[in-house]
């Protein structure tokens, strides 16, 4: 149990002592039990007006008082399930920390369960095409993690937007996964995780994610068959190079003499055909050319 929560529990249990039945103060053992549920915030202050329900042998409903305590007295011995709702309480912009919902009541015993609420905010994420500044319409998967809390596999809507709600205040890392679908006209480079996103309690933090589109390069290789005609050449090995960083790729022409490839890193640049080889010949490169091809979307 965290230190701050332990302090709050101690404060609540001081209140528990003042809620004993008259019979126990007179030295008699009460035949029934007592269940107390205490609510505190992240500053160890009691939370009043919180709706608490009890399911079990003696079901009940109640609200926490000014001391932050809901008392169920008396209850029959047995196992109970505690339910807590912050709606309508003095801390609407909080969420509950996980707590043990089951509690065992015994004859003549006062049993207590402490529940802590922490402040929350929200995170609005918008995924955009870096080149066009338009929203990415694909179903982008989002996940955030940090400060002992995580939320994964959320999907953006048709506007490329998703809003994480009821997120405990703190610092988070955002991960973006853009699935590839054959029907999508444009594919995108998966961005690196975005660290150190601060979500402030009671506020909506906005985070734009700019993604690079994946470019296609396409060209056709033709061989001069005669003075007046050219032929499409299939199965030629074509080496291309990007002038900006000397990145090289080896590709083959299809039956239409086409070479088509993705620029998966999303980097724009100028590609040159530097070598063409017939793999069925032992003569080596057939053509040296300086033809330049601009990388662009199809």
**Tokens encoding 202:** 């009671």
Q: Which helix H or strand E contains 3, and what residues bound it?
A: helix 3-17
Tokens of 291: 């033809």
Residue-range definition of the domain harbouring residue 251: 215-294
Q: How confident is the model at residue 229 (pLDDT cuts 50, 70, 90)?
A: low
Q: What span, in angstroms and rounded, lies between the C-alpha atoms of 142 and 158?
A: 14
pLDDT in the model for residue 236: 79
Question: Which tokens hold the place of 96?
Answer: 């509950």
Is the N-terminal amide bond of 74 cis, ω within 30° of 0?
yes
Q: Domain boundary residue among 96, 118, 140? A: 118
Contact 193, 174 (CB under 8 A): yes
The CB density around residue 259, as the number of other CB atoms within 10 Å, is 22
pLDDT value of position 230: 58
- Longest Cα–Cα distance of the chain, Å, equals 118
Decide which of 286 and 128 is more confident: 128
Indicate if 88 and 177 belong to the same structural domain.
no
* Residue 238: band (very low, low, confident or very high) from pLDDT cuts 50, 70, 90: confident
Q: Is 201 in the same domain as 151? A: yes
Note whether 130 and 211 are within 8 A (CB).
yes
- Name the more confident of 163 and 234: 163
pLDDT per residue as tens digits for the range 140-179: 899 999 877 788 888 988 888 999 988 888 899 999 988 7
pLDDT band at 96 (very low <50, low <70, confident <90, very high): confident
Do residues 196 and 242 share a domain?
A: no
What are the structure tokens assigned to 115, written together? 């529940």
Least confident of 159-163, 242-246, 267-271, 282-286: 282-286
- Tell whether 219 and 247 lie within a shared domain: yes
DSSP 97: P
Most confident range (mean pLDDT) of 108-112, 192-196, 289-293 is 192-196
Positions of E strands within 186-244:
194-199, 204-211, 215-220, 222-224, 230-232, 237-242
Q: Which of 215, 195, 207, 190 is nearest to 266 (CA)?
A: 215
Tokens of 87: 């709606």
Whether the predicted pLDDT of 23 surpasses 60:
no
Whether 183 and 164 have beta carbons less than 8 Å apart is answered as no
CATH number of domain containing 173: 2.60.40.1120
pLDDT above 60: residue 259: yes
Task: Work out the pLDDT band at 222, boundaries 50, 70, 90.
Answer: low
What distance, in Å, lies between the first and last C-alpha atoms of the chain?
Answer: 58
More confident residue, 98 or 199: 199
Write down which residue in 211, 233, 254 finishes a domain.
Answer: 211
* Overall size of the chain counted in residues: 298
């Amino acid at each position: 149990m965290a230190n701050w929560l332990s302090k709050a529990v101690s404060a609540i249990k001081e209140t528990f002592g003042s809620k004993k039945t008259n019979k126990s103060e007179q030295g008699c053992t009460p035949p029934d039990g007592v269940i107390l549920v205490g609510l505190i915030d992240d500053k160890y202050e009691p939370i009043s007006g919180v709706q608490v329900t009890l399911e079990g042998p003696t079901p009940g409903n109640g609200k926490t008082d000014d001391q932050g305590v809901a008392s169920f007295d008396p209850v029959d011995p047995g196992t109970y399930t505690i339910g807590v709702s912050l709606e309508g309480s003095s801390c609407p912009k909080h969420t509950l920390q996980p707590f043990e919902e089951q509690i065992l009541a015994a004859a003549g015993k006062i049993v207590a369960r402490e529940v802590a609420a922490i402040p929350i905010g929200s995170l609005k994420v918008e995924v955009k095409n870096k080149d066009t500044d338009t929203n990415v319409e694909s179903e982008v998967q989002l996940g955030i993690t940090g400060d002992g809390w995580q939320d994964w596999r959320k999907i953006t809507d048709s506007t490329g937007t998703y809003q994480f709600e009821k997120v405990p205040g703190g610092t988070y890392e955002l991960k973006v996964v853009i699935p590839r679908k054959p029907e999508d006209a444009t594919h995108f480079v998966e961005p690196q995780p975005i660290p150190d996103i601060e979500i402030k309690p009671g506020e909506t933090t906005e985070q734009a994610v700019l993604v690079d589109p994946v470019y296609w390069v396409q060209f056709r290789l033709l061989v001069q068959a005669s003075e007046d005609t050219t032929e499409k050449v299939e199965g030629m090995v074509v080496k291309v190079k990007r002038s900006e960083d000397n990145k090289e790729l080896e590709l083959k022409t299809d039956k239409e003499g086409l070479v088509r490839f993705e620029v998966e890193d999303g980097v724009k640049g100028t590609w040159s055909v530097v070598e063409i080889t017939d793999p069925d010949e032992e003569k080596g490169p057939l053509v040296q050319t300086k033809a330049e091809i601009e990388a662009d979307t199809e």
